[in-house]
Amino acid sequence: MTEDEMTKPKQSPQARTALTALIVGAGPTGLTLACELARSGVSFRLVEAAPGPQPGSRGKGVQPRTLEVFDDLGIVGRVLAHGRTAMPIRSADLDGRVQQAGAETVPDRPDIPYPASLITPEWRVEEALRLRLAELGGAVEFGTALESFSQSEEGVSAVIGQGSEAETVTAQWLIGCDGGHSLVRKQTGIAFRGETREAVRMIVADVGVDGLDRDAWHMWRHEEGPVNLCPLPSTDVFQYQAAIAPGQDPDLSRATMQAILDRRSGRTGIRLHEPEWSSLWRANIRLADRYREGRVFLAGDAAHIHSPAGGQGMNTGIQDAYNLGWKLAAVTKGASPALLDSYEAERRPVAADVLALSNARLEQAIEQKSIPTHRDARITQLAVGYRGSVLARDDRAETALLRAGDRAPDATKLMTMHGERRLFDLTRGGRFTVLDFGAMAEAATPDVRTLHVVGQPAGPDDIADTEGHLARAYGATGRTLVLIRPDGYLALISDAGDVSAVSRYFAEIR
């Protein structure tokens, strides 16, 4: 055997059959994408260079819109069970005064099922997604790293390695969900513009704590910077965060973290255990020039990295995957490949807005020497939408409150032949849904469900809007037709009841 033969990547049986997608990186973004493809019956492999699940809380805030994504994927119960919504914040000012505020929530409304952000460690989110992926027949290939790849008009050929073994995998698409240091992004040559602010640093750690209650998120302001301890639900540890100013010791030892806490809190009765996980975070704020190069896509931190202020990064990546997943599945099943062009067009502006929001909150934190506690509607990501997208069509006035491209509202008190349901119960599952308020539409294709709004349910697809929540949420007339995308956004609204508009919509994307 020659040396070339000895070093040539081995071909596995999987490699000989071209996959639809090779997903690189099994954080929340890659796992969400894998779940979306698995439930659509799309072939994929999900590889992760790390030898096993990543420890540490890292991101800990799950926003209401992301909870809706998890609802659709069938994991929201697991995520909620390991978290806490509307956690109050107890903050001590520079003069020692202590204030406690309840976490802000969206007012109780039938169109919003999850009115508050959830605190839960990121590893719990990944755990729930991995369990769901296993239920769908998929798995993470841990200890498997992307080494290189090339692409052609027909597909992507990638070399992946596991220890000393390597194999060549062919796939129609390669999706880089491999974080801020993304090898996929670097090998495609996509610029990652922004800045790394070495002077803005923060110790982040998961630590056991004695002498502090777990009833609230504790914050202390100090002239040299803030320190805070947030109890992590479903664990016995807190997430420790402390800003480290230029010239300060960034050592991650327990002694350093304890000294910072003592000095800034003014308390001596709080004792830290040895950290279970720790990291030194630097302000690295960047956005990829583009999200696609041929058959290669970027998602999550590979495409955008943010300040943690506002808890937006993990959520934005999950929703990248949710947007891309149904489009990849649709193209695999015969939709026009041009549908994939809408991924960057819809998601990159969202990331740019999120970067602006998190940057503003970071500057506020630096100026006030405190982590911002105010959360406005933008933090929830419920207002994220795609008005103006090529996938958004309606015949409504510009001033209409609800337009195509907006998030599809939920609605409660809907009566079906099987009892009371909410709208999200009926649209769950990753497919298009038509809401017919009286236009007598028929199903556009076999994989599109049509729900007829009637006075009294007589068939399996009939729903009665018993308290008018559905009609109010959608601003519907007696003839309105609404088409909801698989990712829960409004594709089309016709108040004129133009049934042919639905058929034309599908004809254009398919």
Is the Cβ–Cβ distance between 324 and 35 less than 8 Å?
Answer: no
> In total, how many domains does the chain have?
2
Q: Are residues 161 and 18 in the same domain?
A: yes
Of 234, 228, 235, nearest in space to 212 by CA: 228
Is residue 308 one of the residues assigned to a domain? yes
Q: Are residues 75 and 50 in the same domain?
A: yes
- Angle, CA 234 vertex, CA 241 and CA 137 arms, to 5°: 110
CATH of the domain at 447: 3.40.30.20
Q: Domain ends where: 353, 380, 407?
A: 380
Is residue 211 one of the residues assigned to a domain? no
Q: Are residues 353 and 432 in the same domain?
A: no
Rounded distance between C-alpha atoms, residue 31 and residue 38, angstroms: 10
Show the domain range for 443.
Answer: 393-509
State phi, psi for 11 to the nearest 5 degrees.
Answer: -100, 120
Q: Are residues 400 and 489 in the same domain?
A: yes
Helices of type H across 41-114:
64-73, 76-81
Residue 297 in tokens: 């896509």
Rounded distance between C-alpha atoms, residue 179 and residue 30, angstroms: 10
Q: Are residues 23 and 64 in the same domain?
A: yes
Query: In 10 A of CB 261, how many CB atoms?
Result: 24
Rounded distance between C-alpha atoms, residue 334 and residue 318, angstroms: 25
State phi, psi for 472 to the nearest 5 degrees.
Answer: -65, -45
- Angle, CA 365 vertex, CA 363 and CA 369 arms, to 5°: 125
Q: Are residues 346 and 423 in the same domain?
A: no
Is residue 107 one of the residues assigned to a domain? no
CATH of the domain at 161: 3.50.50.60
Spatial neighbors of 247 by CB under 8 A, at least 6 apart, are: none
Q: Domain ends where: 350, 380, 410?
A: 380
> What pTM, to 2 d.p., does this model score?
0.93
SS3 state of residue 27: coil
Q: Are residues 398 and 372 in the same domain?
A: no
Is residue 279 one of the residues assigned to a domain? no
Query: In 10 A of CB 202, how many CB atoms?
Result: 22
Q: Are residues 411 and 350 in the same domain?
A: no
Rounded distance between C-alpha atoms, residue 450 and residue 437, angstroms: 10
Q: Are residues 313 and 372 in the same domain?
A: yes
Rounded distance between C-alpha atoms, residue 138 and residue 100, angstroms: 44
Is residue 108 one of the residues assigned to a domain? no
Is residue 76 one of the residues assigned to a domain? yes
SS3 state of residue 168: strand
Q: Domain ends where: 323, 350, 380?
A: 380
Give the DSSP per-residue string, 283-321: EEEEEES-SEETTEEE-GGGTEE--STTS-HHHHHHHHH
Give the DSSP per-residue string, 368-391: HTS------HHHHTTT---TT-TT
Half-sphere exposure of 71 (CA within 13 A, CB side): 21
Reported as type and span, the H/E element at residue 395 is none
Residue with tokens 């890659």: 30
Q: What is the pLDDT along the chain (510 residues), one digit of tens a residue?
A: 343 433 334 434 344 447 999 999 999 999 999 999 999 999 999 999 999 999 999 889 999 999 999 999 999 999 999 999 989 999 988 777 888 776 656 677 999 999 999 999 999 999 999 999 999 999 999 999 999 999 999 999 999 999 889 999 999 999 999 999 999 999 999 999 998 877 788 999 999 999 999 999 999 998 888 999 999 999 999 999 999 988 787 889 999 999 999 999 999 899 999 999 999 988 788 999 999 999 999 999 999 998 776 668 899 999 999 999 999 999 999 999 999 999 999 999 999 988 888 777 766 666 656 665 555 567 889 999 999 999 999 999 999 999 999 999 999 999 999 999 999 999 999 999 999 999 777 766 667 999 999 999 999 999 999 999 999 999 999 999 999 999 999 999 999 999 999 999 999 988
Residue 81 in tokens: 């069970």
Is residue 210 one of the residues assigned to a domain? no
Q: Are residues 293 and 401 in the same domain?
A: no
Q: 227 - beta bridge partners? A: 220, 242
Is the Cβ–Cβ distance between 326 and 21 less than 8 Å?
Answer: no
Q: Are residues 312 and 413 in the same domain?
A: no
Q: Are residues 399 and 341 in the same domain?
A: no
User: Regarding beta strands 238-244 and 192-207, do their DSSP bridges make them parallel or antiparallel, or are they unpaired?
Assistant: antiparallel
Rounded distance between C-alpha atoms, residue 126 and residue 31, angstroms: 7
Is residue 149 one of the residues assigned to a domain? yes
Reported as type and span, the H/E element at residue 241 is strand 238-244
Provide the b/e sequence for 121-148 (b: ≥16 CB within 10 Å): bbbbbbbbbbebbeebebebbeebbbbe
